[in-house]
Structure 1
Amino acid sequence: MKTILTTLLVCLLAGTAWATRQFPEMLVYNNTTYDMYTTPLEALFPAGKTKTFVPRPPSTACIRGYVGSWKIEDDWLFLVALYDGTPHRSVIPLTEIDPQWVSPVRADWFSGTLRLGSGRILSRAMGVDATREKEVYLDVKNGKVISSRHVHNTK
């Protein structure tokens, strides 16, 4: 009986270990600011590569340690600024990542789908995931937006 109770307790605690909702990235697209549920900068930091620019310890609301501010301009993805992952949002100089970087930095290292959200939050999930009234999906290849899809979750 003691083993069963211990196992149940461990399972419950493990499920809530990283249960804090994470700060999303921010992206300006077509003159609208969106929460972004994709983290393009992570593509530069494969598993095990240390992010020396991240303050330690990171906030539980931002385990990755930073919040990126991004924009789409002329169909290109740009990193505009970085902030530490605390409620104070102190600026992290982009030169902390690469001494050559001057804002805005074209994100030509990133290929994948950017998931953006705006409007009312319809449902929350842990991590940086939430379902929003309006969502935009941008397919990006080497920093260039190649297609987009708009979804209205209230219909």
Structure 2
Amino acid sequence: MIRVTLLLSTVACFLQPFRASATGQAAERLIVGCDTMSLFALPLVKADSAVLVRLEKRLKEIDAPWSTACWRAYIGVWRLDKGRLWLERVETTEGDPVFTGAELFPKSAEGSRARADWFSGEIRYGAGKPVYYQHDGFKRNLEREWVAMLSKGRVKRGTKAYRNRRYESGVEMVDNVSRVAAAFDSLHVGKSPDLLSLYVVFAADSTGRVVRIDRARLLSEKGSPVVSDPADPLLQAALRAFRSVSRWDAWWVGGAWKEQAYFIPLRRGGAVWKLQRKRP
């Protein structure tokens, strides 16, 4: 669960999007044809518990190294061949052997690999340069990605292919905050709390302009909601200001503009919010 402490006097707290407490994790590897790609899924976690106990026991026996970038302490090497997912092998994070697919799943073995017929669900895999990164699990995207739905180890329906891209069309965060706060103040919306901020979830496009607002609310000094009704004039004024003057970097990911979330301080001590710079 995401926890955010709101302090209007601390700029950084308002300038961060929501972040989970987890850490970015090393991807699995997926071989497709002659290409080895990053696999942003963990099919092994859906295996029978007895298999997972064997894997955990072996990892402890060989004192497999782990880090915050790979809590599971292993990397699965997979292959997608003719619509079927195979486990080739399991390695340590340093590339040392742990199990072949056949050793871990003897009943599903063909040669040294094993059919991943225990796995049903979605897999996402990709190649190319990073486009988007969030320091949390597999919340990142590469230039080229594919998403497939599997049922008992077989691709259930057509694989979707995506070309992802980042557009650096925004301005500095503090500039966005100052713009929105000033624009909100200029609307003369009447009486509002002395300490007020806008929480907004939105998407921007390649021009940096806001193209979609998914949810929004006004918050007090301690983060409690002041206004959440979208029809409220105060919230509508804050969103008009936000749309009209803010400009953001944007990500085209998975065939859509990627959602972003920010806290924007609007008022402090009864006046338009301004960055308080410390004297040298």
Give TM-score, length-normalised by structure 1. Answer: 0.75
From 90, 113, 126, give the equivalent of 1:82.
90
Bigger share in helix: 2
Question: Residue 117 of structure 1: CA displacement?
Answer: 1.6
Q: Percent identity?
A: 26
1:28 pairs, out of 31, 34, 37, with: 31
Q: Which residue of 1 aligns with 2:149?
A: 139
When residues 103 and 128 of structure 1 are mapped into structure 2, their CA distance, relative to the original with a 3 A threshold, is farther
Aligned to 1:59: 66
Counterpart in 2 of 1:150? 161
**In the alignment, which residue of structure 2 is the partner of 1:93?**
99
Which residue is 2:230 aligned to?
Answer: none
State the TM-score, normalizing by the size of structure 2: 0.44
Distance 1:17 1:45, change over 3 A: farther
Q: Which runs of 5+ in 2 are unaligned?
A: 6-18, 166-251, 253-280
1:79/1:103 contact within 8 Å kept: no
Counterpart-to-counterpart distance in 1, 2:64 and 2:96: 15
1:17-75: CA deviation from partner (whole Å, max 9, x where unpaired):
643x32110001243221000011110156xx633232357512211121011111121
The question of whether the paired residues in 2 share the 8 Å contact of 1:25 and 1:37 is answered with yes
Size of the aligned set, in residue pairs, is 137
Letter in 2 for 1:59: W
Amino acid of the structure 2 residue aligned with 1:138? A
Q: Which SS does the other structure have where 1:78 is aligned?
A: strand
Inter-partner Cα distance in structure 1 for 2:41 and 2:128: 17
Higher mean alpha-carbon deviation, 72-81 vs 125-134, is at 125-134
Return the alpha-carbon distance in structure 2 between the equivalents of residues 91 and 75 of structure 1.
26
Aligned-pair Cα RMSD in Å: 2.6
Q: Which has the higher contact order (CA 8 A, sep 6+)?
A: 1
Question: Of the two, which has the highest radius of gyration?
Answer: 2
**Residues of 2 paired with 1:129 and 1:57: CA distance?**
25
